[in-house]
Each structure stands twice: as structure tokens, then as C-alpha cells.
């Protein structure tokens, strides 16, 4: 593990795509004490004495990816129910997930976060909502995995309190009592949430979905989050099955339901938001409600294609998410930029989403979802040095536009990934933790949860 203090770092000879401001074909970027202090054309106009110099010739420098939807524990259940709809997939997996414990959670989080870092992600959320009693401290386990890796982490305290006996989808054995959820969520925020500018850990409140959570818990979660000054997250409008369920059980569509219970606002972001009506998109824009677009997962489950072009045109915040790996196996954030761009074009034509727009939703759009757009998501002086340095040389240099190489093509190799100026990945290898150990922890999590021989 690197113990070197983070001083001055100078990145030179790079193509820089800062997301905000002009791109620089051959430029430099200077980092001091974990923050960007300057960037510009040519060589850095300051002394390199005692600085670490990174020669980024043949590389594209972008902000690190910001992943705004995930279920890290699903690393242990990848590749199952390969041809199922969302509701079939959920009902098939709930009984397996009910066996989860802290050891499974730790191993899956270590591997899942390591994979995200290796594919360019510097900040990730996680939405953990399965907390069977007596299985250890699951939240602490994933926080520990993120801290060891050195990724900026926004774990959500998820929850389910509406089991089958109350008309919900999950079996009663995986839901918790409403009062216990609210008490534990408040404790979790008090224990872990750090609101500071360069925070490595912020907690969000995230009841799972309208079909697994009571109206009381949805309302009380919003009250709690706003009282504590943290953000709100949930799944919404993922499938038409969900819309039918909401109309039948609540008498309105999913977005109407959110509006009714005070869940629209600029402190909320929703996973998926695939099946939106025109008036829903207007309400998202009016209220600043964000969405985490997860194109691979939505396609894998046959859920549909979110109206990203229309949301962006209306001015609503949009970020990207890989979603849990049980519904988007081994997915990378760079890959999601490509999927998002291709899917919008497949529906709306070749101008529907540009490479630069895809890069923006994968970085700054995600930062906005997490309420961190003044701190991360673009390369600007004063922002945190969360930076991906992609190799776009060799075969990839046949394309003259490096942003096109990144978004149109498969995920490029990573020369370096910096989180707050600290090197987490170098030449496609994790540097803060043992890559082999993290990969093995993910396999052990699967064996333990699926009761294979460990």
C-alpha cells in the first residue's frame, strides 16, 4: 500500500478533456495536496522540483467517472437468471440474498469497487438494502472495503419493509421493521457521513422501491434525510410491471406517487427512470430531481431505454450507473457511456447523444446526482484531483479524436487513476490493495453465499 504523502503532481503532454471549458490538445495539469491548481496548453509553467511528473503522451485525461447506482453485494450472484424479467429475477434472487452476511458483503464490495477503479471510476455510490438480522455489520463491511481501496464512496442505507404479506414483492424474511430501519439509518448517518469538501464518504437514505417499501417508510425517510442534510435515492419507473403495480396499489404512476409523498427535489436522484411520461420529465426538470441511467442493466432485463435525450433537453440532471453486477455483469462506467450514446441513437438518430454529452453525464452529471458538482466531475482549478488517464495510443491512435476513442470504442487501458491526487490504479493494476486478493475476495463471496465449497 502506498504511504507517500500527496504533494505536487504534474501531468504533461496530454490531451485534456476537462468537461467544463475548452479541450486542450497538448496540455498540462498541476495538482497540489489533492486538488487541481491549474491546467493549460503546453508544458507546466512551474518548477517540477520535488514534484511527481507524469508523462501522459498518447493519453487522454478526463475527470474520473462518477457511478450513481450500484448494488455491490450482487458481485456474489452474477450470471444467474440470465433470461429473466426484473420481477422474475428479483423473486428468484431474494432467497439467496437473504443469506448475506458481513463477510459476503465485504468480499463483494472489495471486488466490485476494485473493478470500478480499474475501469476509470473515482467515485461510486452503493445501494445496499438487504439487512437480515444477526449477520454482522454489513454497512461497516462495505465502508471498510472502500476505504482500503481509496475510492470516494457514497453508500446508501437502503431498506425494505413491505414484504409479501403487505402486498410487496420481497418475501417477508428479507424485510425489516420500519422503526428499526429509521433508527439504524439515523445512527449510520451520524457515524459515517462526512459533509466536508474533500469527503471520502457521504451517506444517503435509500428505501428500495415503491413495490418493496411502505408509504410510511418513504415519507419518514425523506423527513430523516432532510433533517440530517443528506441525499435521497430509490429505484423508480424501471419497468412497466412496476407502473402496473403502482397504478393497482397506489392508484397513480410511480412519478405521481413520488410527487405526492414529497420525494421530488434537487436532493433526490432516482435509479433507472425508464418509463417516464412527458409530464414526469417536466416535473424532474422543475424540481431538479436527478436520474441514474443504467443502460446495460435495463437492456439485460428487457426493461426498456430511458428518455435521456428528452431529460437533458428539458434540463433535468442525468448521471450514469452500472447497476448491480447481477443485472449488468462486469460492467464499466466507460462502457455505460458508450451504451448510453448508442441506445439514444438507436431510438432517436445519430445526433441524439454526442460523445461529449456521454462523457459529461458519466462525470459531471453523476457528480450533480450526488450533490458534489462543485467538488468533482470536471477538471477545473480548485476541484478535487479525481482524474482518469486513459491510454489512447497504439491501435487506438488510428482515431484522431481521443474523446471519440474513449466513448465510441471499448473501455481503454488506464495509465493512471487518481483519487484526490492519490494513485489508485497504475498501468491497469490496483496500487492501494492487492489486486489478486481483491479478486479472490469476490470469488469467496460468491462461494459463501451460494453455499459452494470454499
In angstroms, give the least distance from the CB of 127 to Zn ion: 6
Q: Which is nearer to Zn ion, 222 or 271 (CB)?
A: 271
d(CA 418, CA 379) in angstroms, rounded, equals 12
User: Please, which of residues 139-178 interact with Zn ion by CB under 5 A?
Assistant: none
In angstroms, give the least distance from the CB of 358 to Zn ion: 21
Three cell numbers, residue 412: 481503454
DSSP-assigned letter for residue 64: P
Q: Which is nearer to Zn ion, 322 or 425 (CB)?
A: 322
Q: Which is nearer to Zn ion, 271 or 406 (CB)?
A: 271
Q: Which is nearer to Zn ion, 72 or 271 (CB)?
A: 271
Task: Please report, for residues 68, 189, 225, 295, 432, the alpha-carbon distance to residue 323 in angstroms, rounded to integers and kept in the order given.
Answer: 8, 23, 23, 9, 24
In angstroms, give the least distance from the CB of 292 to Zn ion: 8
In angstroms, give the least distance from the CB of 29 to Zn ion: 34
Give the number of residues written for the chain. 454
In angstroms, give the least distance from the CB of 326 to Zn ion: 9
In angstroms, give the least distance from the CB of 269 to Zn ion: 12
**Total residues binding Zn ion (CB under 5 A):** 2
DSSP-assigned letter for residue 337: H
- CA 208 centroid distance within chain: 16
User: Please, which of residues 296-335 interact with Zn ion by CB under 5 A?
Assistant: 323
Cβ pair 127, 71 in contact under 8 A:
yes
Return the SS3 of 327: coil
Q: Which is nearer to Zn ion, 142 or 323 (CB)?
A: 323
Q: Which is nearer to Zn ion, 169 or 392 (CB)?
A: 169
In angstroms, give the least distance from the CB of 235 to Zn ion: 5
Range in contact with Zn ion (rule: CB under 5 A) among 7-15, 33-41, 270-278, 428-436: 270-278
In angstroms, give the least distance from the CB of 175 to Zn ion: 17
d(CA 417, CA 410) in angstroms, rounded, equals 18
Task: Please report, for residues 75, 198, 222, 369, 384, the alpha-carbon distance to residue 374 in angstroms, rounded to integers and kept in the order given.
Answer: 31, 11, 24, 12, 9
Three cell numbers, residue 53: 511528473
Residue with cell 487522454: 60
Range in contact with Zn ion (rule: CB under 5 A) among 179-187, 269-277, 370-378, 395-403: 269-277
Q: Which is nearer to Zn ion, 178 or 328 (CB)?
A: 328
How many Cα atoms within 13 Å fall on the side-chain side of residue 299?
Answer: 15
Q: Which is nearer to Zn ion, 189 or 236 (CB)?
A: 236
Q: Which is nearer to Zn ion, 6 or 273 (CB)?
A: 273
In angstroms, give the least distance from the CB of 452 to Zn ion: 25
DSSP track, 257-314:
HHHHTT--STTEEEEE--S--HHHHHHHHHHT-EEEE-HHHHHHTT-----HHHHHHH
Q: Which is nearer to Zn ion, 125 or 444 (CB)?
A: 125
Phi and psi dihedrals of 390, rounded to 5?
Answer: -95, 140
Three cell numbers, residue 176: 425489516
Three cell numbers, residue 167: 402486498
In angstroms, give the least distance from the CB of 359 to Zn ion: 23
Cβ pair 28, 40 in contact under 8 A:
yes
Q: Which residues bind Zn ion (CB under 5 A)?
A: 271, 323
Amino acid at each position: 500500500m502506498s504511504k507517500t504523502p500527496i504533494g505536487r503532481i504534474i501531468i504533461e503532454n496530454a490531451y485534456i478533456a476537462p468537461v467544463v471549458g475548452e479541450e486542450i490538445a497538448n496540455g498540462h495539469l498541476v495538482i497540489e495536496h489533492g486538488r487541481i491548481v491549474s491546467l493549460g496548453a503546453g508544458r507546466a509553467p512551474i518548477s517540477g522540483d520535488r514534484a511527481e511528473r507524469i508523462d501522459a503522451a498518447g493519453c487522454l485525461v478526463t475527470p474520473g467517472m462518477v457511478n450513481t447506482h450500484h448494488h455491490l453485494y450482487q458481485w456474489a450472484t452474477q450470471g444467474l437468471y440470465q433470461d429473466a424479467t426484473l420481477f422474475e429475477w428479483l423473486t428468484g434472487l431474494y432467497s439467496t440474498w437473504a443469506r448475506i452476511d458481513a463477510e459476503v458483503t465485504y468480499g463483494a464490495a472489495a471486488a466490485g469497487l476494485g473493478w470500478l477503479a480499474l475501469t476509470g471510476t473515482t467515485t461510486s455510490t452503493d445501494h445496499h438494502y438487504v439487512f437480515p438480522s444477526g449477520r454482522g455489520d454489513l454497512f461497516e463491511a462495505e465502508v471498510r472495503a472502500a476505504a482500503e481501496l481509496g475510492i470516494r464512496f457514497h453508500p446508501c442505507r437502503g431498506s425494505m419493509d413491505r414484504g409479501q404479506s403487505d402486498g410487496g414483492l420481497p418475501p417477508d424474511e428479507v424485510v425489516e421493521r420500519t422503526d428499526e430501519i429509521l433508527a439504524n439509518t439515523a445512527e449510520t448517518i451520524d457515524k459515517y457521513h462526512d459533509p466536508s469538501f474533500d469527503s471520502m464518504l457521504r451517506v444517503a437514505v435509500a428505501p428500495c422501491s415503491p413495490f418493496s417499501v411502505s408509504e410510511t417508510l418513504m415519507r419518514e425517510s425523506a423527513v430523516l434525510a432532510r433533517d440530517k442534510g443528506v441525499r435521497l435515492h430509490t429505484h423508480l419507473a424501471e419497468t412497466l410491471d412496476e407502473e402496473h403495480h403502482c397504478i393497482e396499489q397506489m392508484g397513480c404512476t410511480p412519478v405521481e406517487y413520488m410527487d405526492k409523498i414529497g420525494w421530488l427535489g434537487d436532493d433526490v436522484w432516482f435509479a433507472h427512470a425508464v418509463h417516464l411520461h412527458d409530464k414526469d420529465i417536466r416535473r424532474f426538470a422543475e424540481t431538479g430531481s436527478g436520474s441514474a441511467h443504467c443502460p446495460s442493466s435495463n437492456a439485460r432485463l428487457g426493461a426498456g431505454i430511458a428518455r435521456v435525450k428528452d431529460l437533458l433537453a428539458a434540463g433535468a440532471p442525468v448521471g450514469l450507473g452500472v447497476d448491480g453486477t447481477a443485472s449488468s455483469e462486469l460492467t464499466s462506467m466507460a462502457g455505460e457511456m458508450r451504451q448510453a450514446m448508442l441506445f439514444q441513437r438507436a431510438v432517436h438518430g445519430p445526433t441524439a447523444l454526442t460523445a461529449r454529452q456521454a462523457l459529461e453525464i458519466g462525470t459531471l452529471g453523476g457528480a450533480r446526482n450526488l450533490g458534489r458538482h462543485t467538488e468533482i466531475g470536471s477538471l477545473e482549478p480548485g476541484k478535487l484531483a479525481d482524474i482518469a488517464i486513459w491510454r489512447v495510443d497504439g491501435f487506438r491512435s488510428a482515431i484522431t479524436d481521443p474523446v471519440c476513442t474513449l466513448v465510441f470504442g471499448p473501455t481503454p487501458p488506464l495509465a493512471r487513476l487518481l483519487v484526490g491526487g492519490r494513485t489508485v490504479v497504475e498501468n491497469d493494476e490496483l496500487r492501494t490493495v492487492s489486486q489478486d486478493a481483491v479478486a479472490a475476495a469476490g470469488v469467496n463471496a460468491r462461494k459463501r453465499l451460494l453455499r459452494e465449497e470454499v
